[in-house]
C-alpha cells in the first residue's frame, strides 16, 4: 500500500508541474506574484525542480515541432494568448504529462544518438561533450550516452565514472545506473555501479538520487558535498566523508590507490579491480592487518613486497595469483 501512495505522490508532482507550466505559458497576464508562487513551489523540493525542468523541456520541444507543421500565415499572425479556466488547465496539464511520457518513450525506442564508451581492466578514459561536461571512466567501465540539444542522459552499465557537469536547468544531466537515477543540480560527483549496488559520492554541488518507478519513493534523496550514498534494490544508506577522504578515493584519476589504515583485504580488493593478476588473502588474520601508503594501480608486486617485508606475512605464487597469508 505504501508503494502505491508514493508512486501516486510522484504522479501528483508531475501533474502540478504541468499545471504550473501550462498556466505560465498560456496566460497573457502572468504577474510577478504568480512567479513568486511558482518559485516557492520549486523551492519546496528538488523533485519539484526536476519535474518542472523536464516538463518545460518537453513543452519547448512540442512548440518547436508544432511551429514546423504550422502554415506560414498562422505563424505570421498567432492568436492572442488568454488566461484559461482552471478546469481546462488541469485537463491540458494531463495531456501535457501524457505527451511527455510518450515523447520520452518514443525517443528511447529510436535511440538515434547513442554512443558507447568502454575501458578495459586497468583502463582510464576521459570523454568530453559539446556542452562542456566531462566524464572520466575508471577501470573496466561501460558507459552509454545520449547527448542531444534536447536531452542529456548517460547509462553507467558497469564500473565507475567521475562526472564534471555543465549545469543546465532546462536540460538536466541524468545518470542511470541499475535501478537508480542521478540528476545533476550543478555539481561534480562519482558513480560506481557494481552487480548488487550503486554508490554515489558528491564532491561539489548537489545531486538528486532517486529509485526507478518500481522502487519506493523513500529511496529518493538530495545529496550534498561529502555525502556518499550506497543504494541496493531495497535500501539506501548515506554516510559522510571528508574532502581528503573523497580525494583519496578518487586517486585512480591520477593512476594511484591511496590507503590510510586500510585492511589488507580491502586493499587487495582495490588492486584486483585494476589488474588481471589477482591478490588472494588466504586467512582472516592476514586480511585484518592494516596498511597505509600510495601505490600505482598496477603495483601488485610492490604491494606483495610490503606485505612480506613490513607486515611479516608469507607471499607465494599460485598460478596467476599472488597468495598472502600469515
The mean pLDDT value for 113-127 works out to 93
The mean pLDDT value for 254-283 works out to 95
Q: What DSSP string runs through 194-261?
A: -SS-EEEEEEEEEEEEEE-TTS-GGG-EEE-TTEEEEE-SS-EEEEE--HHHHHHHTGGGGTEEEEEE
Reported confidence tier of residue 38, pLDDT bands at 50, 70, 90: confident
Q: Quote the pTM value.
A: 0.67
* Angle at the Cα of 208 from the Cα atoms of 44 and 241, rounded to 5 degrees: 115
% pLDDT > 90, the chain = 53
Tens of pLDDT, residues 199-237: 999 999 999 998 865 555 556 889 999 999 999 888 889
In the chain, the domains with their CATH numbers are 2-110 (no CATH), 114-245 (2.60.120.1440), 255-325 (3.55.50.30)
Reply yes or no on whether the pLDDT at 322 is more than 70.
yes
Q: Assign 3-state DSSP to the chain and report helix, strand, coil percentages, each to 5.
A: 40, 35, 25
User: For cell 504541468, what's the residue?
Assistant: 18
Tens of pLDDT, residues 16-32: 777 777 777 766 677 87
Q: What's the pLDDT score for residue 74?
A: 46
Tens of pLDDT, residues 277-304: 999 999 999 999 999 999 999 999 999 9
Question: What CA–CA distances, in Å, run from 62 to 26, 56, 83?
Answer: 14, 10, 20
Q: What's the pLDDT score for residue 240?
A: 96
Reported confidence tier of residue 39, pLDDT bands at 50, 70, 90: confident
% pLDDT > 70, the chain = 75
b/e 37-62 (16+ beta carbons within 10 angstroms → b): ebeebbeeebbbbbbbbbbbbbbebe
Q: What's the pLDDT score for residue 114?
A: 86
Cβ count near 35 (within 10 Å): 11
Question: What CA–CA distances, in Å, run from 218 to 6, 14, 32, 156, 238?
Answer: 8, 17, 34, 23, 13
Reported confidence tier of residue 90, pLDDT bands at 50, 70, 90: low
Q: How far apart are CA 92 and CA 210, in angstroms?
A: 27
Of residues 272 and 6, which shows the higher confidence score? 272
Q: What's the pLDDT score for residue 219?
A: 65
Tens of pLDDT, residues 1-21: 333 333 456 657 777 777 777
The mean pLDDT value for 111-115 works out to 68
Q: What are the beta bridge partners of residue 160? A: 192
Q: What's the pLDDT score for residue 94?
A: 53
- Whether the CB-CB separation of 3 and 216 falls below 8 Å is answered with yes
What rounded mean pLDDT belongs to the chain?
81
Reply yes or no on whether the pLDDT at 250 is more than 80.
yes
Tens of pLDDT, residues 135-170: 999 999 999 999 988 889 999 999 999 999 998 888
Q: What's the pLDDT score for residue 187?
A: 87
Q: What's the pLDDT score for residue 274?
A: 97
Q: What's the pLDDT score for residue 56?
A: 67
Three-state SS sequence of 259-280 = EEEEEHHHHHHHHHHHCCCEEE
Range scoring the smallest mean pLDDT among 53-62, 238-247, 289-298: 53-62
Reported confidence tier of residue 75, pLDDT bands at 50, 70, 90: very low
Amino acid at each position: 500500500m505504501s508503494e502505491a501512495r508514493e508512486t501516486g505522490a510522484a504522479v501528483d508532482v508531475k501533474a502540478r508541474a504541468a499545471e504550473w507550466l501550462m498556466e505560465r505559458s498560456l496566460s497573457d497576464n502572468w504577474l510577478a506574484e504568480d512567479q513568486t508562487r511558482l518559485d516557492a513551489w520549486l523551492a519546496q523540493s528538488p523533485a519539484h525542480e526536476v519535474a518542472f525542468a523536464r516538463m518545460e523541456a518537453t513543452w519547448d520541444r512540442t512548440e518547436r515541432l508544432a511551429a514546423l507543421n504550422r502554415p506560414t500565415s498562422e505563424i505570421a499572425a498567432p492568436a492572442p494568448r488568454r488566461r484559461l479556466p482552471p478546469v481546462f488547465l488541469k485537463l491540458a496539464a494531463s495531456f501535457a504529462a501524457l505527451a511527455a511520457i510518450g515523447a520520452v518513450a518514443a525517443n528511447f525506442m529510436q535511440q538515434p544518438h547513442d554512443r558507447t564508451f568502454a575501458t578495459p581492466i586497468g583502463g582510464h578514459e576521459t570523454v568530453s561533450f559539446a556542452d562542456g561536461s566531462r566524464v572520466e571512466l575508471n577501470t573496466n567501465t561501460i558507459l552509454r550516452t545520449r547527448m542531444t540539444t534536447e536531452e542529456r542522459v548517460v547509462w553507467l552499465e558497469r564500473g565507475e565514472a567521475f562526472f564534471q557537469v555543465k549545469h543546465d536547468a532546462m536540460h538536466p544531466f541524468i545518470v542511470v545506473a541499475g535501478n537508480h537515477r542521478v540528476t545533476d543540480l550543478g555539481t561534480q560527483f562519482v558513480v560506481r555501479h557494481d552487480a548488487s549496488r550503486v554508490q554515489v559520492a558528491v564532491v561539489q554541488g548537489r545531486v538528486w538520487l532517486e529509485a526507478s518507478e518500481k522502487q519506493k519513493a523513500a529511496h529518493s534523496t538530495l545529496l550534498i558535498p561529502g555525502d556518499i550514498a550506497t543504494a541496493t534494490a531495497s535500501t539506501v544508506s548515506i554516510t559522510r566523508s571528508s574532502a581528503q577522504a573523497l580525494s583519496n578515493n578518487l586517486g585512480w584519476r591520477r593512476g594511484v590507490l591511496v590507503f590510510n589504515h586500510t585492511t589488507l583485504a580491502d586493499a587487495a580488493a582495490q588492486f584486483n579491480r585494476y589488474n588481471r593478476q589477482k591478490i588472494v588473502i588466504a586467512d582472516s588474520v592476514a586480511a585484518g592487518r592494516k596498511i597505509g601508503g600510495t601505490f600505482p594501480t598496477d603495483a601488485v608486486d610492490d604491494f606483495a613486497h610490503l606485505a612480506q617485508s613490513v607486515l611479516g606475512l608469507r607471499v607465494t605464487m599460485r598460478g596467476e595469483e599472488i597468495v598472502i597469508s600469515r
